[in-house]
Structure 1
């Protein structure tokens, strides 16, 4: 059973990702999507201790994309940032995009 973060924690993370990291969401979705088609939008809709979840729009249709955290299961809020940054770095590598420095 994956760790379930408190609703306030999830809400804050989603607000941050969908407000400040719209392009990162799209990059992650494009890199980790197993389906073909051009993804034109990606919104992070949830997360738990095992994965992040995005609603992706591809060819006019939406679907859910669940991406497991690269380092394995997490259970602490600070680990979420590290896990998302790791997804971002892997996405950049897969898509041949130069990653920006992490603060």
Structure 2
């Protein structure tokens, strides 16, 4: 296991698929995550720009300028199925931090 500790399990095609899904279907979540968890409370918009086993990368627009934002996962991920769970957790946590109602009555 120690031999694979530094290896990222997410291939470029998987990252591209996840980014496309997030940016096309969850743009509001990207912005909220950056505002509440990424240290960019004034983010006007955000797009996911990358990821690895340890977190998500975004480019947020703050005051008309692009700002790189990194939001770590709660643990190092080892498989694709974990990404959805972590993004849902981040979105729910961001909604809570921002004082927004839970999504879907959660």
Equivalenced residue count is: 100
Across the aligned residues of Structure 1 and Structure 2, the Cα RMSD in angstroms comes to 1.6
Take 2:97 and 2:40, find their aligned partners in 1: how far apart are those partners? 15
Query: 2-side partners of 1:40 and 1:79: how far apart?
Result: 28
Superposition misfits of 4+ residues, deviation over 6 angstroms: none
Kindly indicate whether the alpha-carbon contact (under 8 Å) linking 2:59 and 2:66 is maintained by their aligned counterparts in 1. Answer: yes
Q: Per-residue deviation at 1:101?
A: 2.7
Larger Rg: 2
* TM-score, structure 1 normalization: 0.89
> Is structure 2 residue 81 aligned with structure 1 residue 96?
no
Q: Mind listing any 5+ residue stretches in structure 1 that lack a counterpart?
A: none
Q: How does 1:1-103 map to 2 (within 5 A)?
A: 1=6, 3-35=8-40, 38-70=42-74, 72-101=75-104
Provide, for residues 17-61 of structure 1, a one-character-per-residue CA deviation record: whole Å limited to 9, x for no partner.
00000111111111023256x211100010100000000110111
